[in-house]
């Protein structure tokens, strides 16, 4: 990682691990790591409108204010496993920040931290495209939305 700027700009979300997330090697399976990233993304940005009930407020209310039916589609994931994520029956802290928000693309950075010593065990980056199925078009990120995201913007984890 090029800088530690993300430490000041990221929001930290807690995501519970499930006992069933372990693989035969005794650590959280790589597929379940992607689920942890998804749960952190929803905790940080909110439940997309029309896809569930937003009971707890989002830390950065972006998804919940998009037009009804807008989908946040994954265009790309990049994941670097720094060391195994061991199962513990306590939530893991996941740092989430914005790498970039331009046109119709939102790029997010992530760090999953070990619940024992707080060290990063996974670094990841996800690129999202905001898509409106009714019109079969991408939704452009507005100036107001970029302004909302600016305080949480930091360099890529890679």
Q: What are the backbone dihedrals phi and psi of residue 63, each rounded to the nearest 5 degrees, phi first?
A: -60, -35
- Checking if the pLDDT of 84 tops 60, the result is yes
Using alpha carbons, select from 88, 153, 157, 85 the residue that is nearest to residue 119.
Answer: 85
Cβ 50 vs Cβ 68: under 8 Å: yes
pLDDT in the model for residue 52: 65
Say if CB 105 and CB 127 are below 8 A apart.
yes
pTM: 0.93
Per-residue pLDDT band at 123 (split at 50, 70, 90): very high
* Whole-angstrom distance, CA of residue 34 vs CA of residue 29: 9
What letter does residue 27 receive in the DSSP assignment? B
100 DSSP β-pair partners = 107
End-to-end CA distance of the chain: 5
Q: Which residues pair with 77 in a beta bridge?
A: 126
pLDDT digits (tens, 9 = 90+) for 33-78: 999 999 999 999 988 776 667 667 889 999 878 888 899 999 999 9
């Amino acid at each position: 990682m090029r800088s530690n700027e993300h430490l000041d700009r990221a929001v930290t979300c807690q995501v519970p691990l499930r006992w069933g997330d372990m693989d035969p090697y005794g650590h959280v399976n790589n597929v379940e790591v992607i689920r942890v990233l998804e749960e952190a993304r929803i905790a940080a940005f909110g439940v997309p409108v029309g896809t569930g009930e937003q009971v707890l407020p989002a830390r950065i209310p972006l998804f919940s204010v998009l037009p009804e039916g807008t989908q946040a589609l994954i265009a790309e994931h990049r994941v670097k496993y720094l060391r195994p994520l061991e199962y513990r029956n306590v939530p893991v802290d996941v740092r989430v920040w914005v790498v970039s928000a331009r046109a119709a693309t939102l790029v997010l950075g992530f760090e999953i931290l070990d619940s024992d010593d707080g060290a990063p065990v996974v670094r990841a980056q996800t690129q999202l495209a905001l898509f409106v199925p009714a019109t079969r078009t991408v939704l452009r990120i507005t100036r107001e939305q970029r302004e909302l995201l600016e305080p949480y913007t930091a360099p890529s984890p890679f």
